[in-house]
Structure 1
């Protein structure tokens, strides 16, 4: 979920495109495994000679499918359809599976860039990025940003270049 090249303005270049950190998918993956194991056990434990065995197995399958959809598939779609794009002129945040929401912060409007990391986030190399802009949204807090220090450094460098009026190609 990035900005296509034909949507970039003249002289604008893509610096970085990324999704939230993969750690957001750990709980949905564990749910997927547990639901699959539970469904398999449920199917195995239904007696084959029982007159309602077909309906019991169908019920186990439907319940497993519903749980997989809610606890694994939807979180994966949310992760996959959340995208961040850092260009030389703006920082774009796109979210949404069925409905799409896009926020764009021009580099000239960014006032402050900061990052926070817990110990576990430092081990994973991710963190929380806070971008304060002069726009009507004010402060935007973005959690689970991968390579947080590199993103913060790139964003800070672009903000400095925008405030200096620089737009040099690196």
Structure 2
């Protein structure tokens, strides 16, 4: 094998690290607060002998809040010059890696509620069999991340000499159009 035909692997460097913001669960957290207030009011109205036991029920919305917060906090994204790494899981960790040359398209959206706190969503459409769509919800500086992703995808495609090709559904008996 000729050593000149092998291209050296580029050094992979980190471009961005982040995680999903807790703001994405605003309505869920508000629901937990409403449940806690309801339990508190109900416990206050109840007879004093059983009120102490009713206050113990406040553990339920607190646990609901903490579990959702922890799961969200344990989701990490890292964009490198070659891959997007998504690490998830609280007790059992899972790492999903997406090669950047497989990214076909990306879309950024900033709903009003997220835009007010400086966040946005980034959705990637890929040619990866295991993850055809990747959604990064409520991330900070989404415009900057999108631009870094765009630049890294193009650079990785150039480095690997890969191009995305769109193929339409053609009649199998029809001759290809030349023009």
Q: Which residue of 2 aligns with 1:160?
A: 154
Q: Which structure 1 residue ranges, 5 or more long, are not aligned?
A: 1-8
Q: Which residue of 2 aligns with 1:5?
A: none
Superposition TM-score, scaled by structure 2 size: 0.69
Larger Rg: 2
Taking the aligned partners of 2:63 and 2:152, their CA distance within structure 1 comes to 40
CA contact (8 A) 1:115 1:130 kept: yes
SS in 2 for 1:98: coil
Taking the aligned partners of 1:118 and 1:44, their CA distance within structure 2 comes to 39
Any idea what the Cα deviations from partners look like across 1:86-131, whole Å, max 9, x if unmatched?
Answer: 1122101122223333211012222222212233333333222121
CA contact (8 A) 1:31 1:68 kept: no
Q: Which residue of 2 aligns with 1:65?
A: 59
Q: Which structure 2 residue ranges, 5 or more long, are not aligned?
A: 1-8, 161-179
Q: Which residue of 2 aligns with 1:127?
A: 120
SS in 1 for 2:20: coil
Superposition TM-score, scaled by structure 1 size: 0.72
- Two-structure CA RMSD over aligned residues (Å): 2.7
Give the count of matched residue pairs. 151
Q: Which residue of 1 aligns with 2:86?
A: 93
- Deviation for aligned residue 1:146: 2.3
1:17 aligns with 2:17: yes
